[in-house]
Every structure is written in C-alpha cells, then in structure tokens.
Amino acid sequence: MNNELLKGLVEQINLEMQSAYIYLGMSTYLNEADLPGFSQWMMAQAHEEMEHAMRIYKFLQERGEHIELFAFEQVSVNYDGVLEVFEESLKHEKFVTAAIDKLMNIAYDVRDFSAMGMLQWFVDEQVEEEDNFNGAIAQIKLAGGKGSPMLMLDRGFGKRQG
Ligand code: FEO
C-alpha cells in the first residue's frame, strides 16, 4: 500500500478511538449533570466510534499491513450544558469528515480501489453523523435547554440502541 495512505489510515484509527474517548468524556459529564438519557446516547456514540476504528484496523490487517497504535489525548469531562456538548460534537464530526475526505483523495490519487471502497462507507457515514448531531442540536434548542421539555427529550435520547 502507498505509504502516505497507510500512514493516514493508521492515524485515522487513532482519530476514531480518540473520538470514542471524547464522547465517553461527554457521556460522563451528562451523567453527572443528571441527564441519563443524553449520557446513554453519547455512550452509544462512543461505542460506534470504536467500531469505526475497528473497520479500518481489520481492513489494514486483511491487506497485510503493519499497524501502529498511538496514545490518546486527555479529554474534557466538563461542559457548559448539553447544547455545548452537542455543538462541540458537531464541530468534531466536521473535523473527522475532512480527515476522511483527505484519505479518499489520497486513495483516489494512487488508484487504491479497495481502500476507496472501504472509505466510501465512511464518506456516507459522515453525512449521517453530521445529520444526527445537527438534528440533536435543533431539538435541544426547541426544548429550550431546561425544564420538563428537556426531561422529556432526555428520555427520548435514552432510547438509542446503537
Ligand atoms: Fe467515526 Fe463520528 O466519526
């Protein structure tokens, strides 16, 4: 595999795992803020990010490439309310989308068709990810960020399975 592409994919494993860690920090904050539904939603998101990392990990293993695993950065468990949590998440997802697009560009340049196929799943997934966070932000704003509408919203978010 092209070296630049391999380096980028190995870094993407780390970025996906770091994403899981960021969302775990957010889930921790939301739990401590007595919002168990939002906390559970964010925990499910953390699990999903680990699955994303494993998709790339498995792909590189199947291609017989050498994989390195990097350290995570410390993450925040302190936020200024649930709206800030979701706005920060959306910002992070946009960063991830840019990283995926960059990898797809490299794969395209070197005509690595199997990498392109694997990355296309992520291109589609990022549309869904940004849409999920945009939708959550809109609902939180509609609920006004406090009182019984927020408690009802919290209950709804708690129903997320995967
Ligand atoms: Fe794996 Fe939310 O990007």
pLDDT surpassing 80 at residue 25: yes
Atom of ligand 1 nearest to the CA of 92: 2
154 lines ligand 1 (CB under 6 A): no
CB 121 within 8 A of CB 55: yes
pLDDT single digits (tens) 91-109:
999 999 999 999 999 999 9
pLDDT band at 138 (very low <50, low <70, confident <90, very high): very high
SS3 content of the chain, % helix, strand, coil (to 5): 80, 0, 20
- Express each pLDDT in 40-90 by its tens digit: 999 999 999 999 999 999 999 999 999 999 999 999 999 999 999 999 999
Does ligand 1 lie within 6 Å of residue 28's CB atom? no
| Domains with residue ranges and CATH for the chain | 3-68+79-157 (1.20.1260.10)
pTM passes above 0.85: yes
Nearest CA to ligand 1 atom 1: 49
The residue behind tokens 């291109």 is 123
